[in-house]
Structure 1
Amino acid sequence: MELAAGRTTAAIAVLLALAVASSFLAAGDGVTDDTDALKTAWDTACQDDGAGVVLAAAGHSFLVRNTVFTGPCQGSVTLQVDGTIVAPSDPATWPANNRRNWLIFYRADGVSLVGSGLIDGKGQKWWDLPCKPHKGGNTHGPCDSPVAMRFFTSNNVTVQGLRVQNSPEFHFRFDSCRGVRVDGLSISSPALSPNTDGIHVENTQDVLITNTVVSNGDDCVSIGAGTLNVHIENVTCGPGHGISIGSLGKAGTRACVGNVTVRNAVIRHSDNGVRIKTWQGGSGSVSAVAFENVRMDAVRNPIIIDQYYCLSKSCENETTAVLVDGVSYAGIRGTYDARSPPIHFGCSDAVPCTNITLSDVELLPASGDTVDDPFCWNVYGNAATPTVPPVACLMGGVPRNYEESSNHKCY
């Protein structure tokens, strides 16, 4: 079966006659390299001034090497995956100088990646590399692993309906984009697969993530620096590391995140629930964040702010930090793994967390009768309603240096 590019008018897709361009022909057997066919189909659709469609047809599997789908395009382009797209499974077959991304969409404004098919990153051999952290190694040098799909400098992006599995590293990454809509995805990789974040956004604005299920070995959704206006709703996570803002401020960098809402989510059997994590020594702010109606099921750390994030035992105390201000938790209910307190607010000595509010929070141990006390360090806020467990460790008002700290706000 061939990949096809075409123009859509009045809801009728007219596919280009592939006999005219033999370079479009794809084997679709999952073994033959179909990269050139897919790339040529994209380039042809991109040059058309209508609404182009590139189709990976149902019932066929297309082996695709790492490649870049480049814009800007004359019109909009839809990559419709109803069959399967698979990556090469052996890291040794990848170019030594190009191992960080698999499928890249660059300057592809208006692109849509849709369909009922499967995108398989074939990550197992990447996870088994001896330099991986869970193998006792580190992530430097030759241990780079590809992100499955990266959208870079692309606006008005839609990703909908697909199944995506076993990425060597992040499944989706959106960098320097504006206007991102993700809906109805199923993202999966094993619980012990390293750094397999489901969806990562960074330096990106106006993001909507809905009706998506993520089961993986790292963050369900992770939000990096430079991100503004994110709405996450009806997302189910777990196992994994929950929904995270950060880590932010590493190596003294300035990081800004603002106006994030997580609503009507379910997090199951995860290391974390909803988390904000920052390194000491950074600057900038996390502000205007709302977690609403989130169900926890045996989550180890349901609610956590950690301004002492560190991946080694040698991180030193610093006199600056990323400000965390204006974070609300409402309707957070369910159970926690009793190895850790259900609520952990570890805030900077120099830049305290401020305007932290809780209401309708009820977190009970998944087993046993002991309800652990929350942990608070240098956090200011209030509980608008009684919570379970009670959060008596919040400090009222604002710190003496609040005016100085609030100058860190980015938005």
Structure 2
Amino acid sequence: MKIVQEVVLIWIVLALFLQNACNVEGRYHYHKGQKKKGSSSTSPVPPPESQDPAPPSPAYSPVPAVPSPPGPDPSNSSSSGIYDVTAFGAAGDGSSDDTPAFTAAWKAACAVESGVVLAPSGHTFMITSTIFSGPCKPGLVFQVDGVLMPPNGPDSWPKGDSKNQWLVFYRLDGMTLTGTGTIEGNGGPWWELPCKPHRGPSGQTASGPCESPTMIRFFMSSNLAVNGLRIQNSPQFHMKFDGCEGVQIEKLSISSPKLSPNTDGIHLGNTKSVGIYNSMISNGDDCISIGTGCSDVNIEGVTCGPSHGISIGSLGVHNSQACVSNITVRNVMIRESDNGLRIKTWQGGSGSVTGISFENIQMEDVRNCIIVDQYYCLSKACRNETSAVYVNDLSYRNIKGTYNVISPPIHFACSDTVPCTNITMSEVELLPHEGELVDDPFCWNAYGVQETVTIPPIDCLRDGMPQTVAESPAYSC
């Protein structure tokens, strides 16, 4: 009986063993099936965290799988470094306030290398007075392909905003302002303020404050590039550079009506190492104006007019010191302008203007083609002063064209006590735009030489060098 029990027990154990073997083989085939569906024979199944998750809801992820027109949203654009302001909420309809979108796009682009703030074509963006400040990562670009404009006139200007400036770029290094679009200043209502010249009720200028915004201002910045844009109808100066170094301006179109007041095209103040090339500027004031503290400025291939010409100054106001040096203007056309090549200083100043070269200049119907005016004054109340900004080392070469006979084409009015010195005239030929050859050139206390005969003849320059200004500390910069 005992033997029979042992045999039964052995069969039971054997049966259990065979059942387990079948189960193991079943699990093995199950895994083979999974490999055929998703994995190679050599790689394990990817863990769940490495698989593509289900698309999150829009509330938690602003990035669409495929960018939708008209432009990418902020997160998606960051992958290419382009921050389209429409993706930050800019309406671009010409009436909505798009300032928050521009400041948000600026902040994002400023934080990455070679970031681009893009105002795309097909839109008109209205923004209020804004300071775009740095420092930012290198290579920042502000690209305007559409239209960018301020509120329309002083009545629409936000009460808390500065009326002295609109777009300010501050403390930046290596920034570019560019694009194929237009920066529109909406200057008309500002020009009609009664405190503007000849805008009063009886044709006279009314007294009182007359704040008007400079359109674009670069302040305390370096290694700047501005190119390709159309900039027009500024309330006051179109573009201004203060305390900058390393500026290249190229292929700009700057325009406003001939009678628009104080609408200088490009103004430089305390700015060094500047190139202005291949641009068209027509406006109601100086085409390019150069203030104190400027040096190493090269202007070439520029067409000015109608305008007030290319001006150095005014300098030395309120008995201040003014220093300007190494300015070169060549291959320039000036047409239908009140002045051509002008240097203007107030009496009572100090410092110097030196190393100024004008070469290959074409004039067309220009009053005061060549003028140095050291008696500049905006009223009849200016007193005679004994000190003045010293004007030295001026070169005029190959200056040709026509002048408006209202004024003599050459005018050197230098200080009684501080003569202009080292003036060189060569190949200067200026004929009347209409009528006969009239007034002779005017010179007062001006020293220089003619390397060739000028037209009209200029016999009023003094020879040599006066001793009164030599090595005087008042004129050192």
Would you say same fold, with TM above 0.5? yes
SS at match of 1:110: coil
Cα gap change, 1:166/1:6 in structure 2, threshold over 3 Å: closer, same or farther? farther
Over the matched positions of the two proteins, sequence identity in percent amounts to 56
Of 100, 115, 130, 1:36 maps to: 100
2:129 counterpart (49, 66, 78): 66
Instruction: Say if 2:444 is the partner of 1:377.
Output: yes
Give the C-alpha shift of residue 96 in structure 1: 4.5
Q: Give the distance between the partners of 1:295 and 1:74, measured in 2 at CA.
A: 42
**CA separation of 1:18/1:262 partners in 2, compared to 1, >3 Å: closer, same or farther?**
closer
2:146 is the alignment partner of 1:83: yes
Q: One-letter code of the match for 1:226?
A: G
2:179 & 2:400 partners in 1: Cα distance?
34
For 1:313-367, what per-residue CA distance to the aligned partner results, in whole angstroms no more than 9, with x for missing partners? 1111101000000000000000000010000000000110000110000000001
**Structure 1: distance between partners of 2:76 and 2:246:** 24
Q: Which amino acid aligns with 1:369?
A: E
Tell me the SS of whatever aligns to 1:193. Answer: coil
> Following superposition of structure 1 onto structure 2, how do residues 312-351 of structure 1 map, counting pairs within 5 Å?
312-351=379-418
Cα deviation, residue 290, structure 1: 0.1
Q: 1:409 offset after TM fit, Å?
A: 3.0
- Determine if contact 2:345/2:389 at 8 Å carries over to the other structure: yes
2:242 & 2:163 partners in 1: Cα distance? 18
1:302 equivalent in alignment to 2:373:
no
1:381 partner letter: G
Structure 2 distance, partners of 1:7, 1:206, is 38
Matched-pair contact (CA < 8 Å) for 1:235–1:265: yes
2:222: which partner in 1? Answer: 155
| Corresponding residue for residue 30 of structure 2 | none
- CA deviation profile, 1:272-328 (whole Å, cap 9, x unmatched): 000000000000000000000000000011000000000001111101000000000
Q: Alpha carbons of 1:210 and 1:17: their partners in 2 closer, same or farther (altered >3 Å)?
A: closer
Please identify which structure carries the higher strand content. Answer: 1
1:137 aligns with 2:201: no
Instruction: Describe the SS at the equivalent of 2:301.
Output: strand
Q: Secondary structure at the match of 1:126?
A: helix
Aligned length: 403
Q: Normalised by the size of structure 1, how large is the TM-score?
A: 0.94
Q: Is the 8 A contact 2:83 2:116 kept in 1?
A: no
Say whether the 8 Å CA contact 1:55–1:82 is kept in structure 2.
yes
* Aligned equivalent of 1:195: 262
State how 1:199-238 maps to structure 2 within 5 Å: 199-238=266-305
Q: Distance in 2 between matches of 1:374 and 1:204?
A: 33
Q: State the structure with bigger RCO (CA 8 A, min sep 6), 1 or 2.
A: 1
Q: Is the 8 A contact 1:351 1:405 kept in 2?
A: no
CA RMSD in angstroms, aligned pairs only: 2.0
Ranges in structure 1 where 5+ consecutive residues have no aligned partner: none
| Aligned residue type for 1:103 | L
Partner amino acid, structure 1, of 2:437 = T
CA distance change for structure 1 residues 346 and 103 in 2, over 3 Å: closer, same or farther?
A: same
AA aligned to 1:208 is G
Q: CA deviation at 1:382?
A: 0.7
Cα gap change, 1:139 to 1:200, in 2 (>3 Å): farther
Instruction: Classify 1:345/1:6 alpha carbon distance in 2 versus 1 (closer, same or farther; 3 Å).
Output: farther
Quick check: 367-376 or 271-280, which moved more?
Answer: 367-376
2:374/2:413 contact within 8 Å kept:
yes
CA distance in 2, matches of 1:4, 1:131: 45
Change in CA separation of 1:349 and 1:404 when aligned onto 2, cut-off 3 Å: farther
Partner of 2:166: 102
Unaligned runs of 5+ in 2: 1-69
Name the SS of the counterpart of 1:389 in structure 2. coil
Are residues 8 and 361 of structure 1, via their aligned partners in 2, closer, same or farther at CA, if it must alter by over 3 Å? farther
**TM-score (norm. length: structure 2):** 0.81
Of the three residues 54, 59, 69, the one matched with 2:117 is 54
Kept in 2: contact 1:134–1:194 (CA 8 A): no
Q: Secondary structure at the match of 2:136?
A: coil
Letter in 2 for 1:43: K
Distance 2:179 2:408 in 1: 42
- Cα displacement (A) at 1:194: 0.4
> Cα–Cα, structure 1 residues 18 and 374, in superposed 2: closer, same or farther, change >3 Å?
closer
Select the structure of larger CA radius of gyration.
2
Shifted more, 401-410 versus 81-90: the winner is 401-410
